[in-house]
Amino acid sequence: MARWSLRNQEKIAKAFGEKQLVRMTISLNRHFKQSAEIQSTLIPGDKYETIVIDDTGHTSNLIAFYIIRKTFDVYNLAFKEFIG
């Protein structure tokens, strides 16, 4: 099972609020626990591949993260955007 690490959590909490950060971490935990294989996409114009996951706080929203690097089974992520 893959694991994740989210960069700049303090900045995310400051910009969006602690509740949003908690939603992100719950969503990431659920996604990485349920997904046997992590699917990523390289969007034209982006430097890093992106993963898009369900937002557990809102059933119709998604959250996108950049994959900064992958070391063994750990994905180092950076928040990209909320989609919804």
Nearest-Å Rg of the Cα atoms of the chain is 12
- Averaged pLDDT, 55-82: 93
Tokens of 23: 């939603």
| Long-range pairs for 63-71: beta carbons < 8 A, 24 or more residues apart | 63/24, 63/27, 65/6, 65/28, 67/40, 68/7
Q: Return the pLDDT at 35.
A: 82
CA 5 vs. chain centroid, Å, equals: 9
Q: How many domains does the chain have?
A: 1
**Average pLDDT across the chain, whole number:** 94
Q: Structural domain of residue 73, as residue ranges?
A: 3-83
